[in-house]
Amino acid sequence: MRRLNLPSKDACFAFLLVISSAILLNINLGYKTAKGIDFIFNALFFAFILSARRMVRRLAWVLVFISAVYSITANLYGKPSILVMSSLFQTNTTEALEFVKQVTCYQMALPVVTMLIFFYLSKDRKIKNNTISCVFLVLMAGVIFVRFDREMGVRLNMFNFFQRAYTSYYSYKENMADLNSSRGLPSNWKASSVLPNGKRKNLYIVIIGESMRSDYSSLYGYPVKNMPFLEREPGDYYSQYHAAAPNTFMALPRTLAKTNPDGNIEINNNIVTLAKALHMETYWLSNQGFLGKADTPISKISIYSDHLFLLKKGSYDDSNSDDSELITPYEKILNQKKENTLVVFHLMGSHANFCDRLTRNDMIIPHREKAISCYLSTYLKADKMIEKIYTLAEQKQYHFKIMYFSDHGLSKDESSGHLTLLHNASYKQNYNIPLLVLDSSAKSRTYHDKPISALNFISFYATFLDARIESPQPFHFDDNTIFNGGQYIDHRTLAEDPPVI
C-alpha cells in the first residue's frame, strides 16, 4: 500500500505562522475589523516571503518593522489619522509619559511577537522552488487587480495604511498652516466695562453644548425630568433662541465671531478677543476636535485664548473622551484665584452617536426608542456638568456668571430603519436651542420669550460680560434670521418637527 506524503511538522508550523502573521499585520496597522480579502492577501504575502530570495525578505522587513512600531499606537488610536499626526508632532514630554502609562503588557507583546514570527519566517528560504514563488506572486497581483479602484487606489489594508499616513500628514500640515495664518490677524475690538470694578464678576464661564434642542429639555416643557439642577436654579432663561446655522461647522463661527450680512466672518473679532480687550485672562477647555474639516473653524477662535486645553488633538471623532475630564483643568484654574477670568468649555454634549456620550456611571432615562433614551440622558449629563461647574466656582467663593447654549439642534430621522435624530436644515427645531445665564448673585428665575438670533450673539455676549463694545459695532440681524447653509432666511417660515414623547 502506498504511503501518503503528509506535510512535515516544520511545514505545518510555518503555515500556522503565516496565518498568525496575516492576522497580526491587520491588527498592528490599526485594522481590527479587516475583511477576509485582507487576510488572504496578507497570507499570500507571508507565504511569498517563505519562497523569496534574501533581498526581497530584507525589503519585507521594512513593512513588518513599521507595523510592529505602529502597533501600540494602532491599539490606542486605530488607523493613521490627523489625530495620530498631531500627537506625533505636538506631544510634549508629559503627554508622552501619559501615553506610555496607557500601554498594557498585551500591547507591548504584540510588536515583539510580530518581529519574532517574521524573524523565523525570513531567516532562510524555506520553499526553494521558483515556480511556487511565482504562483504566490501572481496570486498577489490578481488580488491587487481585483481590489484596484481608480479613485481610491488599491482597496487593501496594507496599501490603505500608507495612503492614510500620507494624506493624514498633509491634512495635518494644511490644517496647521490654516490655523497659523489666522493667528496673524489681530483683533481690533475696543470695549469697556459698564460696571465699576467693585461690582464686576471675577469669573465669567461660557459653556458651549452640542446638538441640544430646547424642546427635549424639561427646562422648556419636555415631560421627562432631565435637567433637575437648572429647573430649580435662579437665572435668566431664554426660550426663543435660534442657532445661527444647522450644524457646528457653519453655526459656531457665525455665533462666536463678528458676522456681517455679506457672509464675511471676522474670525479675529471673537468672544475670546473681546474678553481680552477687557483685560481678562482667557482659557479654552475643549472636548471637541482641534483639526479636521469640521473642527478647524472653531479652533481658529480657540487659539486666541491665553491657555488652550484639548482632550482631542485631532478630529472630534478620533476618541471618545468624556466631558467630565474637563473638570480637572477647570479646578486648577479656580485654584489659581485669578481675577477677571474667562473660561470657555466646548463640550461633546449630545453629539451623535448619543449612546457613545454616556458612561456606565451615567443615569439612563428609559424610552421605547434607544436613541431617544440616550439623547434624553445626555441632557441629564449636561445638567450635572453645569451643576459641577457652578458648585466648584461657588465653593471657591468666586463672584461669577455662567452662560450655557447649544450650537444647533437636530430633527427626527428614520432612514436607517430605526428612529434617531440627525442634522437637518428644514425644520424650526434644527435651530431651537437652549440659552441661559446663571449669576452667583441671582435670587430669582426670569423667563424671556423674545426671539434672539445667534447671529447677534456677540452683542448678547457683551452684555453677559458687563461690557460695552465701542468699535467695531456688530451688525444687528433681525432676530428671526438664520443661515440655512445657503442663504439667510426667516426662521418662522420653516416646518415643525415636534419632539418624540
pLDDT (tens digit per residue) in 192-208: 999 887 678 999 999 99
Compute how many other C-beta atoms are within 10 angstroms of the C-beta atom of residue 497. Answer: 20
Share of the chain above pLDDT 90, in %: 51
pTM given for the model: 0.73
> Position of cell 496578507?
42
CATH 3.30.2010.10 is right for the domain spanning 195-493: no
Residue-range domain boundaries for the chain = 11-178, 195-493
Q: Is the pLDDT of residue 236 over 90?
A: yes
Grid cell listed for 81: 489619522
The predicted structure's pLDDT at residue 206:
98
The predicted structure's pLDDT at residue 416:
73
CA separation for the pair 101, 447 (Å, rounded): 49
Q: In the predicted model, what is the mean pLDDT of the chain? A: 87
Q: Which of 38, 21, 31 is nearest to 79 (CA)?
A: 31
> Position of cell 461690557?
467
- What are the backbone dihedrals phi and psi of residue 291, each rounded to the nearest 5 degrees, phi first? -125, 150
Q: Is the pLDDT of residue 221 over 80?
A: yes
Task: Give Rg (Cα) of the chain.
Answer: 28
- For Cα atoms 56, 61, 67, give the angle at the middle one, nearest 5 degrees: 135
The predicted structure's pLDDT at residue 1:
39
The answer to whether 273 and 484 are in contact (CB under 8 A) is no
CA separation for the pair 321, 238 (Å, rounded): 30
